[in-house]
Structure 1
Amino acid sequence: MHRDPTLESFCDFFNKLDKTSTKMLPEVYTRDVVFQDPLHRITGIEALIGYFDRLYANVETCHFAFGERQRQADTAFVTWTMTLRHPRLAGGRDYHVEGCSQLHFAASDGPDGERVCRHRDYFDAGALLYERLPLLGSVIRQVKRRAG
């Protein structure tokens, strides 16, 4: 199967992203990017850099195992499993969250060709955050067990 080089560069970039490299986001995203996940909606590259600065400030490790990738015209989807370690979540142990990103690309000036202009992540916010918190996590897990 043909791999799209722009999509592969995006995936590679995210596996190198940490608190020391958030200033490199303009290499991947347009200036007017719209980023959305179950918890936030951010508009503009400066706001996105600020968001990732705060997000990665206390993260010890974050890695993505990218799965299926599909691209047609300017729209792409990629599935992933994120492995995250944060000292205040899950007792400081690694934990995994599965998700999917929908990306829209736009032509950009310069040698890189295309950048992401819209990025939307789909994942279970409870699995990422709420279930990892003391007290609240046990309540949410209990509700999920009863509902399931």
Structure 2
Amino acid sequence: MDSETVAQFYQALSKDNIDQLPTIYHDNIVFEDAAHRIEGIDSLCAYFSELYQNVERCDFDIDQHHQFGNVGFLVWQMTLIHPKLNGGRPVVVPGTTHLNFQDDKVIFHRDYFDLGQMLYEQLPILGHVIKAIKRKLGQ
């Protein structure tokens, strides 16, 4: 298993093939992102099932993948379409994934992305406030 295999898996990931997660992830996977920490393959499968049930589309375009021994990195853009975000229009969020491999599977997966850009900025009232704060910080 390597970062290229994981990249290919994520570029094909959809509601229809999340049952393939155990082919990529170790039974003792630790999965983290800006909002979650999930431990174990069963919990990860449940998380992805719920996630994909609530979105219309979640696509990953992997720009780069790198491998250094048992450590891998992915650089990606996620396109998310959720009926409650951005008026149902696509939200594009760049991110990076840090991977550790053990027993030819991913044992650790950490996503780095701007949760505000993905979620908070897309909500009707809160989005305007967050964007105004970002503009002020940029001055």
Aligned to 2:121: 131
Aligned to 1:121: 111
Q: Please show how residues 71-110 of structure 1 align to structure 2 within 5 Å.
A: 71-107=67-103
CA shift, 1:56, in A, is 0.9
Matches of 1:115 and 1:86, distance apart in 2 = 30
Letter in 1 for 2:109: H
Aligned to 1:142: 132
Matches of 1:38 and 1:6, distance apart in 2 = 24
Which structure's residues are more often helix, by fraction?
2
Taking only aligned residues, the RMSD between alpha carbons, in angstroms, comes to: 1.2
Letter in 2 for 1:9: T
Q: Any stretches of 5+ residues in structure 2 without a counterpart?
A: none
Matches of 2:3 and 2:73, distance apart in 1 = 9
Identity of aligned residues (%): 43
Match of 1:88, SS?
coil
Matches of 2:30 and 2:124, distance apart in 1 = 32
Q: Which runs of 4+ in 1 moved over 3 A?
A: none
Alignment counterpart, residue 55 of structure 2, candidates 59, 82, 101: 59
CA shift, 1:106, in A, is 0.8
User: Which protein has greater RCO, CA pairs closer than 8 Å, 6+ apart?
Assistant: 2
Letter in 2 for 1:139: V
Alignment counterpart, residue 18 of structure 1, candidates 14, 25, 39: 14
Match of 1:15, SS?
helix
Aligned to 2:27: 31
CA shift, 1:60, in A, is 1.3
Match of 1:146, SS?
helix
Number of aligned residues: 138
CA shift, 1:78, in A, is 1.1
Is the Cα–Cα contact under 8 Å of residues 3 and 73 in structure 2 kept in the other structure?
Answer: no
Match of 2:46, SS?
helix
Matches of 1:86 and 1:60, distance apart in 2 = 6
Match of 2:2, SS?
helix
Matches of 1:68 and 1:24, distance apart in 2 = 22
